[in-house]
Amino acid sequence: MTTLFDPLQVGRIALANRIVMAPLTRNRAPGAIPNALMATYYSQRASAGLIISEATAISPQAQGYADVPGLYSTEQLDGWKQVTRAVHEAGGKIVVQLWHVGRVSHLELQPHFGKPVAPSAIRAKTKTVLIHNGVPSFVDTSEPRALDVEEIPGIVEDYRHAAENAIACGFDGVEIHAANGYLIDQFLKTGSNHRTDDYGGSLKNRARLLLEVVRAVVDDIGGDRVGIRLSPVTPANDVFDADPQQTFDYVIHHLAEMKLAYIHVIEGATGGARELPDRPFDYEALRAIYRRGGGNGAWMVNNGYTAELAALALAQGADLVAFGRPFISNPDLALRLRTGAALNPGDRSTFYGGGAKGYTDYPTL
């Protein structure tokens, strides 16, 4: 019987166990530059089979929150090299999550105070984080502008270049963030995409950006170093799709042929309920379509998993289980799951922004 503590080969990446540290935005990269404190934070958690870094902007336009890192400047790449080196020295594996927030941003965070970009000029009813004088605050996102079709190839190129930078920085691979109401997800879902050109309207057109990005990244660094994160029914960041089962069945069918390292699926509402009565979804059917289509990547499940739920998921065919917030306050979460030890409570006041407090000072067993 498969357990969380069994090793697994995921594409090109050999994992010591099946416990994944999910991406967690912590807003501790002033100037969007990774730093030594972040290297300590990630290396403390290297006993996870795989670490997925916090979401990382692929360009200045892709930024949506204060003090989150990027992957496009020399200073940022140098900072990430500290992080990957520290994780590898601690025996861990780490991939970077590639991120374009689209409309989930604010004028203060955009180059030259420009409007955030989106598939359509529809403002997201959600918040972002600004930090003034070291104090984080949640503020409404700004009104976006619709991308011109001529701009979209440049965004695909930004993803490709960021993936190339990631490998140069020592990451073991990349995860394309296509979930949680950010740019790729905005294009995919009907509630945020009202376009009438080749990137809107039909399901094929709405999925075009996602598939173009994945193909570009796979062509550059190889599918065996690429994962993708999907969230079929989450309401995060004001997204909604009229027929999520049809949409994601289509997407997963096309992803199957790309021979990715893994598929990362958020079940239910991100960070919330696992079951949404108003948005039913068949995740087992989704995985079956992927396997029938020849998809051989690891299947990663995420959202509110405990040790008991994780064991059940593995028994039912999942390959990896991602844990999010428990990793914030339990750097040795893998050991605690193995031994059944109690978990440290998290200090929510330090989740976003700040320094070492609530970041690198949680006790281990």
DSSP letter string, 251-302: HHHHHHTT--SEEEEE-SSTTS-S--TTS---HHHHHHHHHHTT--SEEEEE
pLDDT bucket at 40, cuts 50 / 70 / 90:
very high
pLDDT bucket at 92, cuts 50 / 70 / 90:
very high
Rounded mean pLDDT of 59-64?
98
Percentage with pLDDT > 70 across the chain: 100
pLDDT digits (tens, 9 = 90+) for 67-86: 999 999 999 999 999 999 99
pLDDT bucket at 133, cuts 50 / 70 / 90:
confident
Distance separating alpha carbons of residues 277 and 123, to the nearest angstrom: 26
pLDDT digits (tens, 9 = 90+) for 135-189: 889 999 999 999 999 999 999 999 999 999 999 999 999 999 999 999 999 999 9
Backbone angles phi, psi at 176, to 5 degrees: -80, 120
**Which sequence positions are flagged as catalytic?**
182
Distance separating alpha carbons of residues 193 and 205, to the nearest angstrom: 10
Query: What class is the 8-350 domain?
Result: alpha beta
The continuous run of DSSP H or E covering 174 comes out as strand 173-177
Rounded mean pLDDT of 253-281?
96
pLDDT bucket at 134, cuts 50 / 70 / 90:
confident
Does the global pTM surpass 0.95?
yes
Closest CA to 6 of 18, 21, 22, 20: 18
